[in-house]
Amino acid sequence: MYGLWKWYLNKSFILKISTGFLLGIGVGLIFGPSAGVLAPLGDIFLKLLKMAVVPLILFSIIVSINNTNPKELGRIGGKIFPYYIITTALAVFMGIGIAKLINPGSGLSLPQNSSMDVPEAPALIDVLMQIIPTNIFEALANGNILSIVFMAVIVGFAVSFMRHSHEAQTKEWGNLLLKLMEAGSEVTFRILNGILQYAPIGVLGITATTIGNQGLDTLSALAKYVFASYVGVGIQMFILFPIILLMFRVPVIKFITNTREAIVTAFVTSSSLATLPVTIKAAHKAGISERVANFTLPVGATVNMNGSAIHFGVGVVFAADIVGYELSIGAIVGIILAGTLAAIGTAGVPGAGLIGMSIVFTQAGLPIEIVALTAGVNVITDMVFTTCNVTGDIVGAAVVDQSEKKHTIHPVEELTRKVASK
Ligand code: ASP
């Protein structure tokens, strides 16, 4: 028994997770909706991952703020946020462009029965205001990720100021707090390693249930919409991201090889947040420095959604086609703006894009019943949108890390400088 466990532990994560995925497809196809009995297996996996996400975000942000000096941190933030905003806006634009070529909505009409479940569109300003928590314990308990990120940044800076205080007592407390956070981060990663051993079974459960429930009928009705979404994501993943990586001299093939576990996990979980633990590990494996990865990735998993942005672009054209609405240049600019903000406000959980899409539709004056129409195939499109979201986060981290390298003085170089200055 022990030998079997050892054998299992030594097998690569990607092999195990792919086996779970393929078995899941098989089971789903053979048993159809009754494969749903396996749903709890998948739920256990997602719950375990989510359980680790709050401590992970809290500890890794606080620790990484303290491992980076404020000047560096400002520089990293000053690079990563423009990257998020520019790539997201481009992704909305690209989604619109691809959908314009494919015309996914042609031939379809507005569903007669409009009493469908339409996600409620919260006002954009409300989404942004929610970032500041009125009660930190409530934010932690409810898993309100944006608020937790906000809080972690504040606590991280406060601890850093304490550690640099002139008062011995305050300094000592600051150092003690940081040690505690580092220990917390270590224990979270250890627990995560255990959780990931369960991943293949969880993936089997998720895939069997999804494939079993997803009748081929919905898919064929909206096939063009699904196709446009996949093409958009394909362009972003296989053309735009490699171009960005090459521009910053990051070797593309090596990058994909090192990060594939995160890419596959995003695909099967449809959740950037649930994937975050794997994303951070993959970034470390890809050689991205901890100070960049541990700060940018939790933030990225929360605010950077390139795939969701493509979703909004494709969705808007799809709806405009159905209702016969001509998109003017002005309307497109407005949609890019609303789409970018909605993507930032989209949570990294399965199906969250549907809420973002209703925000964009409301801004664009399109009927949100069409969001409900696409909800039928959202499980299939969400997989690739999430994959794109997570890949975008790691590409951002890699790019910033690469550009940070010129600011890091190699120890030998530092020594040479010291000797030369004597
Ligand atoms: N499921 C996506 C994610 O977690 C968000 C979305 O639905 O667009 O990244």
Domain ranges of the chain: 8-406
Tell the residue nearest (CA) to atom 1 of ligand 1: 350
Name the CATH superfamily housing domain 8-406: Sodium:dicarboxylate symporter (1.10.3860.10)
- The pLDDT of residue 405 is 81
- The pLDDT of residue 105 is 80
Tell me what the pLDDT averaged over the chain comes to: 85
Q: Give residue 389 CA to ligand 1 midpoint distance, Å.
A: 7
- Asked if the model's pLDDT at residue 12 lies above 70, the reply is yes
d(C-alpha 384, C-alpha 223), whole Å: 15
Ligand 1: residue of 210, 233, 308 to mutate (most ligand atoms within 8 A of CB) is: 308
Ligand 1: residue of 349, 355, 360, 371 to mutate (most ligand atoms within 8 A of CB) is: 349
pLDDT (mean) for 95-107: 88
- The pLDDT of residue 115 is 47
The answer, yes or no, to whether any atom of ligand 1 lies below 6 A from the CB of 386, is: yes
- The pLDDT of residue 116 is 47
Going by pLDDT thresholds of 50, 70 and 90, the confidence category of residue 163 is very high
Are 349 and 327 spatial neighbours (Cβ–Cβ below 8 Å)?
A: no
Going by pLDDT thresholds of 50, 70 and 90, the confidence category of residue 67 is confident
Coarse DSSP helix, strand, coil percentages of the chain, rounded to the nearest 5 percent: 80, 0, 20
- The pLDDT of residue 18 is 81
Tell the residue nearest (CA) to atom 6 of ligand 1: 353
> 202-245 pLDDT, tens per residue?
888 888 887 787 655 556 668 889 999 999 999 999 999 999 99
Are 157 and 66 spatial neighbours (Cβ–Cβ below 8 Å)?
A: no
Please tell me what DSSP assigns to residue 120: P
Q: Give residue 388 CA to ligand 1 midpoint distance, Å.
A: 9
- Asked if the model's pLDDT at residue 39 lies above 50, the reply is yes
Which ligand 1 atom lies nearest to the CA of residue 275? 4
Nearest of 268, 190, 233 to residue 99 by alpha carbon: 233
d(C-alpha 257, C-alpha 237), whole Å: 14
> 348-404 pLDDT, tens per residue?
888 888 888 888 888 788 887 788 778 778 888 999 999 999 999 999 999 999 988
Choice between 238 and 115, residue whose per-residue pLDDT is larger = 238
The answer, yes or no, to whether any atom of ligand 1 lies below 6 A from the CB of 349, is: yes
- The pLDDT of residue 51 is 83
- Asked if the model's pLDDT at residue 114 lies above 50, the reply is no
- The pLDDT of residue 103 is 86
pLDDT (mean) for 278-290: 93
Instruction: State the helix-helix crossing angle for 272-285 and 252-269, rounded to 10 degrees.
Output: 160
> 116-128 pLDDT, tens per residue?
455 555 666 776 7
d(C-alpha 406, C-alpha 394), whole Å: 19
Are 127 and 363 spatial neighbours (Cβ–Cβ below 8 Å)?
A: no
**HSE-up of 234 (CA within 13 Å, CB side)?**
7
- Asked if the model's pLDDT at residue 419 lies above 60, the reply is no
Express as a percent the part of the chain with pLDDT over 70. Answer: 90
The answer, yes or no, to whether any atom of ligand 1 lies below 6 A from the CB of 381, is: no
Are 277 and 13 spatial neighbours (Cβ–Cβ below 8 Å)?
A: no
The answer, yes or no, to whether any atom of ligand 1 lies below 6 A from the CB of 352, is: yes
- The pLDDT of residue 147 is 84
The answer, yes or no, to whether any atom of ligand 1 lies below 6 A from the CB of 270, is: yes
